[in-house]
Structure 1
């Protein structure tokens, strides 16, 4: 690589401008080492927006900067004149080109090392201004790398959510066909015990898969920003609680369920969404609770809200996990006595508690959890009795 030598008065910003071609050539050679992403890309695609990034770095080194502005930049929060920036556009194209996050970040590490090596090798004697230039250079590199990481992460998250949304949406039709076929097969004619059992298993498995699809759709709605739709109507929560507890008794005949109702349980809520919360919290208690201990569902009416609590005895949730228990795709290990035999992943993919939180939040309430060896585990959801806005709402995303 041919480098144009420095003169005694040339500062680092000018050195980068003069040697931009050489720096870009080294950047291209480094990017090409990433296979398969870099192996099939043209030189133009490999170089991407490196010229604009170098121009930003050179201008940033020469710009005036206060101490406060330096701190802001160190946090990756320097105000920008253009959006998207060259670094963000670079990240978008690297994401589209198949580069992973580590490969993209390593490009910035290589760029930092390349410029530093060339500059230091050419210095006759380091001056205080040269040291300051190198500090400003590293700040500018960090700023561009932060912008690239932020953009890449956002696109990665969007791609993941779109994938989940498309997957769950497209699964609905075949699941519906399987379920309908199983139901019709039972009505075709007499069947032996083995055939009846197999069709029942198909129907049960399809129902569980349908619940997973519903949860995935709710997850993607919430994380893509559209929120969970909430349609309020006058309802009595005691009816839903009795319905869901009776359903749990049928599904888990070996488990004991206790239902306690008190106070006025009428209000404006989304009946179907409230049912989801009951089902998720009861299912969670069944999954992680001791099989010989009762599961207690308490619904208490207060003047301005109704409180739902589901309690079970079992291995307590680790303290460091309590803060993330309502995050998506977070779940505990299934209890060894889990009678379903399917484990946590097949039941709710760890989405149940996250979706429950979104539903409660959409109703203007809050959900919390306590878990100790002495008192067991209790999830409590607070539902405001009246809508804060209209009858149709969405959970804040």
Structure 2
């Protein structure tokens, strides 16, 4: 029987013919070395990734690093906490590596042009850089290399699995959002048909007919968008189709349909002057519909939702304000991002403002614009959208998912 006073048998140390005491010292030495060379490892990894991984140069530095430094910290901590290379598999830090690598995969799914093989390539470079640094500093124990390789292999497995699942999730959400949005114009068209009453007079009949016609046309356009969303790659969002138009009519249509659908008071503050530019009319309507729906859903039912439209020489400004409880400050920063909704779905925390806000930001940025949020107690919540009227030319453009607020 093994004496309880003796250390556990280190099978890897035996396999590599390394004395236990020396292995213990080398694990601590390796942990100290990697900690002191942490920035060097990350900088060299970044340099080689930018040279060798096709999608990397289009990713900003902060986004490129993502969770990789955290994974290195976890490996250092594992080396530092253990006496041999056998018991690390039960270390809770392995679970931290799993969490960080899962988030790394999700992040790469929202970064343009990334593929599974490029994620694996990133990790291969990461592993090689670590080994080169160790060799350079006279650390050559194979058992330590084995531990590091096992940790990185686990990270690769989790990142690839998370990346694949996230692509499927994005596709499902984009298609689901389009399918949901199709219901609105079809419901409006059906309601218009039900409201047809020849005794109400010609003017009322023409108004209902126009509303139903516009709603059916909108549903057809959304179905075309649904077909475009069947194939989604990393970092991609919806397909937009730009054309020169007066967007004022689209805004008026959304407002009139919302007044028909919702019982709450909705106020539209705009002039009747043309708002000419290059827009995707369907996308702008969906943007406005999502903001109105959220304003009604989370606003005070007895106070109005106010829509303001301001037409400038180069910009179209849209704001939607509602009264009610503000969005918590810690939720505001990530409320427009796909990653935020993914985490919220997994953790099942608080109410969600929906992937519709991800769509709002995608549409605004695709129009060369931006989205801003103000949400405070006593003020309510206001979304401000700026669209550049002339940043696009007519034609189809695939939007990009946003990973940062």
Q: Is the 8 A contact 1:164 1:220 kept in 2?
A: no
- For the Cα contact (< 8 Å) 2:308–2:319, is it kept in 1? yes
Match of 2:163 in 1: 154
Q: Relative to 1, partners in 2 of residues 1:76 and 1:143: Cα closer, same or farther, differing over 3 Å?
A: farther
- Bigger mean CA offset, 213-222 vs 149-158: 213-222
Q: Distance in 1 between matches of 2:229 and 2:12?
A: 55
- Structure 1: 5+ residue stretches without partners: 13-60, 84-108, 120-128, 187-206, 334-343
Match of 1:359 among 354, 359, 363: 363
1:140 aligns with 2:149: yes
Q: How big is the shift at 1:318? A: 0.5
State the partner residue of 1:379. Answer: 383
Any residues of structure 2 matched to 1:14-53 within 5 Å, and which? none
SS of structure 2 residue aligned to 1:290: coil
Tell me the distance in 2 between the aligned counterparts of 1:307 and 1:250: 24
Q: Distance in 1 between matches of 2:295 and 2:156?
A: 43
1:118-158 deviations in Å (ceiling 9; x for gaps):
99xxxxxxxxx899766655443333332222222112223
Say whether 1:296 aligns with 2:306.
yes
Q: Which residue of 2 aligns with 1:72?
A: 41
Cα drift, residue 234 of structure 1: 2.3
Secondary structure, counterpart of 1:229 in structure 2: strand
1:242 paired residue among 235, 252, 269:
252
For residues 338-386 of structure 1, give each alpha carbon's deviation from its aligned partner in whole angstroms, at most 9, with x where no partner exists.
Answer: xxxxxx88xxx81211111111121121111111123321111111111
In the alignment, the residues of structure 2 paired with residue 351 and residue 224 of structure 1 have an alpha-carbon distance, to the nearest angstrom, of 17
Distance 1:276 1:270 in 2: 10
Say whether residues 1:233 and 2:243 are aligned partners.
yes
Tell me, in whole angstroms, the C-alpha distance in 2 between the residues paired with 1:361 and 1:79: 31
The separation in 2 between residues aligned to 1:171 and 1:287, in whole angstroms, is 16
The answer as to whether partners of 1:11 and 1:133 remain within 8 angstroms in 2 is no
> What's the TM-score once normalised by structure 2's chain length?
0.51
CA RMSD of aligned residues (A): 5.4
Match of 2:337, SS state, is: coil
Query: Map of 1:105-120 to 2, 5 A cutoff?
Result: 116-117=85-86
Q: How does 1:1-397 map to 2 (within 5 A)?
A: 6=14, 10-11=17-18, 68=37, 71-72=40-41, 116-117=85-86, 136-161=145-170, 224-261=234-271, 265-328=275-338, 330=341, 350-397=354-401
**Unaligned 5+ runs, structure 2:** 1-8, 20-29, 54-77, 89-137, 195-215, 345-350
Check the 8 A contact 1:326/1:357 in 2, yes or no: yes
CA 1:300–1:393 in structure 2 vs 1: closer, same or farther (change >3 Å)?
Answer: same
Shift of 1:310: 0.6
> C-alpha offsets along residues 267-313 of structure 1, whole Å, 9 cap, x if unaligned?
11011111111111111111111111111111111121111111111
Contact preservation (8 Å) 2:336, 2:358? yes
Asked if structure 1 preserves the Cα contact closer than 8 Å seen for 2:229 and 2:239, the reply is no
Contact 1:269 1:363 in 2 (8 A): yes
Q: C-alpha separation between the residues in 2 aligned to 1:218 and 1:277?
A: 18
**Partner Cα distance (2:257, 2:250) in 1:** 10
Aligned length: 272
- Alignment partners' CA distance in 1, 2:237 and 2:363: 10
Q: Tell whether the 8 Å contact from 2:244 to 2:394 is kept in structure 1 after alignment.
A: no
- State the structure with more CA Rg: 1
2:369–2:388 Cα contact (<8 Å) kept: yes
When residues 395 and 159 of structure 1 are mapped into structure 2, their CA distance, relative to the original with a 3 A threshold, is: closer
